Amino acid sequence: MVLKVKDLAVSRGGLTVLEGLNFTLSPGQALVLRGPNGSGKTTLLRTLAGLQPPAAGDIVGDPETIAYAAHADGLKPTLSVRENLAFWAQVFGTSDLSPAIDAFNLGTLLDRAAGALSAGQKRRLGLARLKVTGRQVWMLDEPTVSLDTSSVEQFAHTIRDHLKNQGSALLATHIDLGFEATVLDVSPYKAKLRDLPVLEEGLL
């Protein structure tokens, strides 16, 4: 077990969006979060990554094992692809960039400025960052946005590799990536709206 969630509630902007979540993530396991837009998948991921405190419940796990990839890739447009990757490698104390470059086919783009990449290429660079972190638990928020089909296949292959090496992954995604994963639909855990102010009829 690398991550265990007990009776977790997460909130966004002071409103609880999900509550009563219980799950565990084991080495080699992928967990896919599903649910309609605005159901709280991103909020859940941010809470698990340690960016915000849980509204209630417990998260058992070491934040130092988690690598988080948000909607935004955190790329610096004036730095080259290599410089962007090397920076994150240094931050996470690793040095070998080549597995990440090969996994996402970035070899021909290394000296291009990140600002000159297409949306899909940027995403690939953002995902390659996960691999250079050397961390065990990957948390990905909509990882396949703007990727073409072959890049999606590459990405799925990288995840499979990661799982094979006893890594784990937690993904919020809408498409089927074609690897064995536990699916967690978050909609049943939607928090009941208790604290919303009641609008007067005249205003409606």
Q: Taking the complex as a whole, how short is the minimal distance between the CB of residue 58 and other proteins, in angstroms?
A: 18
Cα angle vertex 120, ends 119, 126, to 5°? Answer: 90
| Residue 128 DSSP label | H
Q: Does 111 engage in binding with other proteins (CB under 8 A)?
A: no
Among residues 5, 33, 67, 184, the one that binds other proteins under rule CB under 8 A: 67
Amino acid letter, 176: D
CA-wise closest residue to 82 among 102, 110, 59: 110
Among residues 51, 56, 116, 175, the one that binds other proteins under rule CB under 8 A: 51
Q: Does 76 engage in binding with other proteins (CB under 8 A)?
A: yes
Residues whose CB falls within 8 Å of the CB of residue 200, separated by 6 or more in sequence, listed in order: none
Q: Does 64 engage in binding with other proteins (CB under 8 A)?
A: yes
Nearer to other proteins, 53 or 197 (CB): 53
Q: Is 146 helix (H, G, I), strand (E, B) or coil?
A: coil
Q: Is 155 helix (H, G, I), strand (E, B) or coil?
A: helix
Rule CB under 8 A: which of 117-176 touch other proteins? 129, 133
Q: Does 49 engage in binding with other proteins (CB under 8 A)?
A: yes
Q: Does 23 engage in binding with other proteins (CB under 8 A)?
A: no
Nearer to other proteins, 5 or 114 (CB): 114
Nearer to other proteins, 46 or 162 (CB): 46
The answer to whether 202 touches 182, Cβ cutoff 8 Å, is no
Q: Does 52 engage in binding with other proteins (CB under 8 A)?
A: yes
Most distant CA pair in the chain, distance = 63
Q: Taking the complex as a whole, how short is the minimal distance between the CB of residue 90 and other proteins, in angstroms?
A: 4
